[in-house]
Amino acid sequence: VTDRVRVELGPRSYEVVVGSGALDELERLFSGRRRVAIVSHAHLGAAKGDVVREPLVRAGVENQLFGMDEGEEAKSLATVERLCRDFARWGLLRSDAVVAFGGGVVGDTAGFAASVYHRGVDVVQVPTTLLAMVDSAIGGKTGVNLPEGKNLVGAFHQPRAVLIDPALLDSLPDRELRCGLGEVVKYALLGDHALTRLLEERSDALLARDPAVLREVVTRCVAAKAAVVAADEQERTGRRASLNLGHTAGHAIEQATGYALAHGEAVAVGLVFATHLASALERIPPGDVDRAERLVHGLGLPVTAPTGLRVEDLLALMARDKKSAGALTFVLPGPNGIERVDDPDRAAVDKAFAAIGVTS
């Protein structure tokens, strides 16, 4: 069984295929092509690369695996340069293509390499982590880090397809699964009430990686992200900024802990912070805060920040966020849905910080 979600972007439209047969789509997609470069972590490529190679072989496409390291350190221009040089030495042409097989680091880095090699070759994203499946693999944002900041260099380069087989999550460490669930909760809080109920009622099956529940959860998140991307491909209208729900505080907490708290965990706390802040600003009823906290907690995610963080430090980190030009910007739920709120009342901010265990 596979679900299909179309990302409507005119000539750059593509499908996200979710389900146990999703990777078979590679055979149809690349039939008639000459060569495909598969980019992956070395160990992942060795352990599971065949799920990508077999449909390519059936399509009669030459393919080769190009390894890269894991972790944010590998998400660099140095890796992009090495990949492009390796592509060139292998003889990859502009009419050939790249498959990014891995988590967010591989997807962002290989996607960016594909976007600049010969000024752009086709890329298909095959995400292998929950975080990448529900978020980073969809929408065409690619890029790498600089010492000065994350994702400072990149491109909008839409994939030709995103192929998601939730069975690839079988070997994902529990903590990485939970991190993905942080982003899943975000989509629920963005207004998908059916997803909220699903997460409330089936959290045990989800944490046990029940394939049918995973597929439904991933498809719902993909559909939500696809709608936002279709409305605001290049983050120009502000609509795509709604995806930053929970991320203003989340990023700051992630940085303040020296990344001891992982992205998805920090986002979970950031989502709880955002609902507290929205409630303190009387944008949502207090009951919504309780429900969000229970949802986050029920998925094994933290609802408070680690001890020892200070309000002033987090505010300073938020102010340095690359997208802000001075103002302290949040995206918050409210009576009209998710909206951008600039420089909210300081007392409300302090109250929300206190609710997640951060004091002055």
Which among 186, 215, 247, 283 is annotated as catalytic? 247
Q: How far apart are CA 100 and CA 96, in angstroms?
A: 14
Q: Identify which of residues 144 and 179 has a Cβ nearer to a copy of itself in the complex.
A: 144
Nearer to a copy of itself, 34 or 160 (CB): 34
Radius of gyration (Cα) for the chain, nearest Å?
20
Q: Which residues bind a copy of itself (CB under 8 A)?
A: 34, 77, 80-81, 84-85, 88-89, 93-95, 112, 115-120, 141, 143, 146-149, 152-156, 234-235, 322-323, 325
Q: Examine the residue annotation and report whether 263 is marked as an active-site residue of this protein.
A: yes
Task: Spot the catalytic one: 41, 75, 215, 240.
Answer: 240
User: Is residue 157 annotated as part of the catalytic site, yes or no?
Assistant: no
* Region for residue 62 given its phi and psi (left: phi exceeds 0; alpha: psi -120 to 50; beta: otherwise): beta
Beta bridge mates, 63: 36
Of 148 and 312, which CB lies nearer to a copy of itself in the complex structure? 148
Has 247 been annotated as catalytic?
Answer: yes
From the CB of residue 77, how many other CB atoms can be counted at a distance below 10 Å? 15
Q: Determine the distance from the C-alpha atom of residue 180 to the mean position of all C-alpha atoms in its chain, rounded to a whole number.
A: 8
Cα gap 135→129, rounded to integer Å:
10
- Of the residues 48, 53, 75, 141, which is catalytic? 141
Whether residue 119 lies in the annotated active site: yes
150 is a catalytic site residue: no
Catalytic residue, chosen from 251, 254, 265, 283, is 251
The two structure tokens encoding residue 158: 């839409």
- Joined together, the tokens standing for residue 90 give 């292998």
Pick between residue 93 and residue 260 the one whose CB is nearest to a copy of itself.
93
Task: Specify whether 235 is catalytic.
Answer: yes
DSSP secondary structure code for residue 306 in this structure: P
Is 63 in the active site?
A: no
Q: Is 233 noted as a catalytic residue in this protein?
A: no
Relative to beta strand 149-156, strand 141-146 is: antiparallel
Q: How near is the Cβ of 41 to a copy of itself at its closest, in Å?
A: 22
114 vs 181, which CB is nearer to a copy of itself?
114
**Residue among 112, 104, 90, 124 at smallest CA distance from 41:** 104
Taking the complex as a whole, the smallest distance from the CB of residue 141 to a copy of itself amounts, in Å, to 7
Question: Which residue among the candidates 235, 239, 297, 339 is catalytic per the annotation?
Answer: 235
Nearer to a copy of itself by Cβ, of 156 and 209: the residue is 156
**Pick from 336, 327, 334, 266: nearest CA to 301:** 266
The DSSP annotation for 158-203 comes to --SEEEE-GGGGGGS-HHHHHHHHHHHHHHHHTT-HHHHHHHHHSH
To the query of whether residue 282 is one of the catalytic residues in this protein, the response is no
Catalytic residue list contains 48: no
Q: How far apart are CA 266 and CA 260, in angstroms?
A: 10
Cβ(163)–Cβ(107) below 8 Å: no
Tell me the C-alpha distance between 255 and 253, whole Å.
Answer: 5
Q: Which is nearer to a copy of itself, 85 or 294 (CB)?
A: 85
Instruction: Name the residues annotated as catalytic.
Output: 119, 141, 183, 225, 235, 240, 244, 247, 251, 263
